[in-house]
Structure formats: C-alpha cells, structure tokens
Amino acid sequence: MSVTDGRTTAGFGGLETCGRIWLCPVCAAKIRVRRGDQIAEAVARHIDGGGSAWFITVTLPHEKGDALKDSFDALTKAWRHVKTGKRHQEDKKRFGILGDIKAVEVTHGENGWHPHAHVLVLTARPLEFDEMCAWAARLDARWAQGLAKVGWPQGKPGVRFTMIPVEKGKGIAAYVAKVQEKGLGNELARADMKDGRVGNRTPFQILADFGNTGLVDDLELWWEFEAATAGRSAIRWTPGLWALLMPDEDEKTDEEIAAEEMAGQTIAVLTPWTWRRISEIPGADIAVLEAVEASGWEGLLRSLIRLRISAQGVYTPEEWATPNEVLIDSD
C-alpha cells in the first residue's frame, strides 16, 4: 500500500503478469491506472505551459449483426482518414496541433458491439471560440467522410462526433489536474472501471457474467472480443508527443508497467491458497483492495470475513518473516 499526494492506493504484489490490457482484468487495471496518471500529468504540464487540450469522442452507427472486427476496422480506418492528407496538415498549421492520445473502448448491448474512441488532442496555444467551432466542423466533416469511405453509415451529426475544451480552473479542469476516479486521465484510460450504459456491458462485465452464469452466448461474445482485439492498441500516443510532454520520464510498455511491483508499505502476506480463493470469487480482488485502502489491516480482515475466506492464510510481514511458523498450504 502506498500514499501519493494524500491518496492511498493498494495493490497485489508477487503475482505473475501478462500485460494484456484488453484481456486480463488484473493487468488491465494496473496498466490503465498508470496510463491515466500519466495522461493527467502530461496534460496538466501542457496547460501550465500555455497550451490547450481538446477532448474528442468519435463513434459510429452499429447494428446487432455487425462483427466486432468489422466495426473496429471501420473505426480505425475512418480516424486515419481524419488524421491524414492535405486538410489535416492545414489544421496542424492553422490550429497549432502538436499530437493526440487516443483510447479505444468497446461495449456490447441490444444493438451489438459498439467500439468508440476518445481522443485527447493537444494544441500549442488556446483557441478562440470561433476557431474551435471551425476546427470541430472540419473534423466532423472528415470523420463522416472517413466512415463513408470505408462503406459505413455516417451517423447523426452531434452524435458521431463531439468535442469539448479542457481548461484549467473549475469544473472540467480538476478534470486535468487531479488524478482521481473521475479525472481526465481515468476518463480516457480506464475503460476497465466503467460500467456500460443501461442495457450495455463492457467486455469484463461479459466475462464476469459468464463466470457467474456459464451462458454460452457470453462465452462466444468473449471469444469474438479476444479475436477482434488481437494486435490492436488500446491507448496510443502520437509518435514524439511523449518526449515533448514527459521528457523526464521513460515511456514504458504495457508489459513493463504490469510487471512493476508497487512501492510502499506491505500490509499483509497471503499464502497461495488464500490468493487462489480470492481470485476465484468475481470482484473479490477489488473488494479486498478497496477495504485495505480504507482501513488497512483491519479492512483486509473484515473483507475476508464478508467473502467467507479464512484468515488463517493471512500474515503480517513480521509473522511471515518468522521462520518455521507459517502455514504455506492448506492441503
């Protein structure tokens, strides 16, 4: 458990990691927390230095019969159309575009798969209101053209594309400066902690539902999600943007972040069979960490009692360091 800027954060250490941001709930949470913090820090620095940031969401119409791979491809290719060509180069010069950070999310509901992207675009200077409106209109038009170019319906204006400024000050700018559950970094990066809108489910919700009910339909949806996300980036920075905004920090891969051990105070040591029991219960790992963040050792014990998990395999660091007095396996 560590404390940073007054915020207590708990995590599990000593676990094997895979670094699969799309498919592993444990690694995804760890990676996305770090990515969210990095984004919030980078944008705060940028705005402090006189720049501006713009939060864009792009989506595309979807129907129940649409394969996730097809809609994913359409999203990727249509956005590529927005960011390439003569008009994009004109926009870079006219509006001072430095680069962007793009995060892709996926939900599933009554109308099938719904991939969409949040894009944080950074400009070298603030823009006047009329400049922002002109730029947004140009981007929306190119987004619609990009969808049409790949043979996808263009969708409705005002829905397929939205753009809002990120400003330092009240309201949306704590959005930037604060790293917390509703901060800008987490809004962009933490698809793992979001709930789908009413009637929609995130992929991890689908996975949890399959674990609880065993429905074949949920398993098939998960398999489709696995296949469609293979080789795709979940969060991508424009080349060179990291070095511009975060020159004093190394840019690490998802695998490197997942493999990092959390610095701070060790609250407890869990035996392998205790960890297996926690990992077998959907949501138990999150419940335990939240309890530790709130109440430390006492919170851990209370959470295990609520989950009906024996505390016999839980030790203080001092107990674990005592030779020949620790139960390793319950079998």
With cut-offs at 50, 70 and 90, classify the pLDDT of residue 326.
low
Task: Please report the pLDDT score of residue 328 as a whole number.
Answer: 54
Task: Please report the pLDDT score of residue 5 as a whole number.
Answer: 45
Instruction: Map tokens 């491809």 to a residue.
Output: 73
Q: Is the pLDDT of residue 12 over 90?
A: no
Task: Please report the pLDDT score of residue 99 as a whole number.
Answer: 97
**Angstrom distance (rounded) from CA 271 to CA 120:** 43
| pLDDT tens column, 260-299 | 877 788 889 999 999 989 988 877 888 898 899 899 999 9
CB count in 10 Å sphere of residue 283: 12
The two three-digit tokens of residue 3, written as one number: 């404390």
Say how many residues make up the chain.
Answer: 331
| pLDDT tens column, 210-267 | 988 989 999 999 999 999 999 999 999 999 999 999 999 999 999 999 988 777 888 8
Q: Is the pLDDT of residue 31 over 60?
A: yes
Q: Is the pLDDT of residue 307 over 70?
A: yes
Instruction: Map tokens 């940073």 to a residue.
Output: 4
Task: Please report the pLDDT score of residue 40 as a whole number.
Answer: 86
Residue 28, Cβ density class (10 Å: 0-12 exposed, 13-18 middle, ≥19 buried): buried
What's the average model confidence in pLDDT over 56-77?
94
Task: Please report the pLDDT score of residue 284 as a whole number.
Answer: 85
Task: Please report the pLDDT score of residue 1 as a whole number.
Answer: 47
Q: What is the mean pLDDT of the chain?
A: 86
**Angstrom distance (rounded) from CA 176 to CA 183:** 6
Q: Which residue would you say has higher pLDDT here, 269 or 15?
A: 269
**Angstrom distance (rounded) from CA 106 to CA 200:** 10
Q: Which residue would you say has higher pLDDT here, 228 or 184?
A: 228
Task: Please report the pLDDT score of residue 30 as a whole number.
Answer: 82
Task: Please report the pLDDT score of residue 183 as a whole number.
Answer: 60
Task: Please report the pLDDT score of residue 161 as a whole number.
Answer: 97
Provide the pairing of β-strand 7-9 with 112-123: unpaired
| pLDDT tens column, 98-140 | 999 999 999 999 999 999 999 999 999 999 999 999 999 999 9
Q: Which residue would you say has higher pLDDT here, 171 or 116?
A: 116
Residue 149, Cβ density class (10 Å: 0-12 exposed, 13-18 middle, ≥19 buried): middle
With cut-offs at 50, 70 and 90, classify the pLDDT of residue 184.
low
Indicate the pTM of the whole model: 0.78
Task: Pick the closest to residue 113 from 62, 153, 155 (CA basis).
Answer: 62
Task: Please report the pLDDT score of residue 7 as a whole number.
Answer: 61
Per DSSP, helices labelled H in 233-283 are: 241-245, 254-259, 272-280
Task: Please report the pLDDT score of residue 181 as a whole number.
Answer: 39
Is the Cβ–Cβ distance between 276 and 3 less than 8 Å?
no
